[in-house]
Structure 1
């Protein structure tokens, strides 16, 4: 197995929304805001080369939305998914599987693109299976009013229409873990941010690497109360974070940060104030 970090593009989000009830005087120390109260956000994917499979975890926003849409998110930098794939000698047509942690637009928008004459949509990875789970699919296709703006039908319905959509099982009631999924890694299911978000847990070069998605968006979100205003069940997020972060600190997990524009990987430690940041690493420092 070989892993590659894939940068799909950077944007900005409102710092207050990203940190919920936490005062700006606190979160601004780790995630400084600009004059519009916006903070830097990444959309960092992970590519897994495993035998004859090439698996991409999340795909960023994509580029099919209108200029008005992207104007809300202050795009910056020149990273694209195609540039990142090419850096490692790959093309999007090489991808065999796309695993979507959840179906919010900044995680799955790059899975679907305009067709050639812009009359409709098609998969952006023509040779891939797209993986979600039935519970989250139902949640996304019958959205609540709070999340409706994040579940864009043009990102979701074409996946099913293409015939390339598959579902990964949800663990039995009482368990959050699915061991050895169809894609060869374990999955932690969490429900605080959105229903049945899937967090990949990989064993790689003798270390446990966890793709954090929106369970831990940035290193600045490590303290338990630092929960996004976007989370649908913030009290459940607190419980899920506490369980996971304690385990991650005790078992020395490496946490791959999808949304931290300036930090790729972090590790944790136990302190008198709870779990806190131990170290920041680049991917290459840890695995190359």
Structure 2
């Protein structure tokens, strides 16, 4: 097995929304805001090469939305998924599976594209199976008013219509040691219902793809919860349990949304679990 970080693009989000009730004077120490009170956000995916399977975790926003839509999120930088795949010798048509932590547009928007003939939507990964879970699919396709703007019909229903949609089978209430895709999954419900957090054993370590459970290094303290979360008190419980487990098992955290930090390790302190060290992917894994 070989893992590759894939940079699908950068954008901006409101800092206050990203940190909920935490005062700006605190969160801006790790995530400084611009003149519009927006902070830098990444769409960092993970590619797993495992035998004849090439599994992509999340896909970023894609590029099919309108200029007005993207004006709210101020894309920046030169990253895109095709260029990032090419660096590692791959093309989007090589992808066999796309695993989606959840179906908010910044995680699954890249699954579907508007085709070259401008006649309709089509899969952006024509040879891949798209993986979510049945409970989250129902949650996303029958959205509540709070999340409706994040669950876009043009991202979801074309997956089903093209016949490439698949559901992860759950075993137990929270964690399955090995999914159909060969890695463990933690199911969490604070951010959105049945978000899936992959745990991947790689080169003697456990790499955890954090999704929106802990979006950036700045979100490590347990009370630092996004305003976007549907059940923030539940997020507190889920984060606390995960962070204690992460320290005990020496997990390496892989950040999807931290534009400036790829990975980190953790340590236990008098104030609880805190950042130990920031790492790049190559620092942790290239020499092992």
**How high is the TM-score relative to the length of structure 1?**
0.99
Partner residue in 2 for 1:275: 273
Q: 1:205 aligns with which of 203, 206, 209?
A: 203
Cα RMSD after superposing both structures: 0.5
Q: Aligned equivalents of 2:116 and 2:220: distance in 1?
A: 43
Partner residue in 2 for 1:222: 220
Q: Aligned equivalents of 2:91 and 2:8: distance in 1?
A: 14
Q: 2:240 aligns with which of 239, 242, 261?
A: 242
Equivalences, count:
286
Q: Aligned equivalents of 2:21 and 2:176: distance in 1?
A: 32
2:40 corresponds to 1:40: yes
Partner residue in 1 for 2:138: 138
Partner residue in 2 for 1:11: 11
User: Structure 2 matches for 1:1-288, cutoff 5 A?
Assistant: 1-172=1-172, 175-288=173-286
Q: Aligned equivalents of 1:76 and 1:200: distance in 2?
A: 27
Q: Aligned equivalents of 1:210 and 1:76: distance in 2?
A: 26
Q: Aligned equivalents of 2:161 and 2:59: distance in 1?
A: 19
| CA deviation profile, 1:207-249 (whole Å, cap 9, x unmatched) | 0000000000000000011000000000000000000001101
Runs of at least 5 residues in structure 1 that lack an aligned partner in the other structure = none
1:63·1:113 contact (CA, 8 Å) conserved in 2? yes
| CA deviation profile, 1:20-43 (whole Å, cap 9, x unmatched) | 000000000000000110000000
Alpha-carbon distance, 1:170 to partner: 2.5
| CA deviation profile, 1:132-170 (whole Å, cap 9, x unmatched) | 000000000000000000000000000000000000012
Q: Aligned equivalents of 1:196 and 1:118: distance in 2?
A: 34
1:250·1:269 contact (CA, 8 Å) conserved in 2? no
Q: Aligned equivalents of 1:189 and 1:91: distance in 2?
A: 30
Q: Aligned equivalents of 2:176 and 2:100: distance in 1?
A: 15
Q: Aligned equivalents of 2:33 and 2:248: distance in 1?
A: 32
Alpha-carbon distance, 1:171 to partner: 3.2
Q: Aligned equivalents of 1:203 and 1:179: distance in 2?
A: 11
Q: Aligned equivalents of 2:230 and 2:61: distance in 1?
A: 21
- Give structure 1 regions of 4+ aligned residues with deviation exceeding 4 angstroms: none
Alpha-carbon distance, 1:120 to partner: 1.0
Structure 1 counterpart SS, 2:41: strand
Structure 1 counterpart SS, 2:70: helix
Structure 2 counterpart SS, 1:73: coil
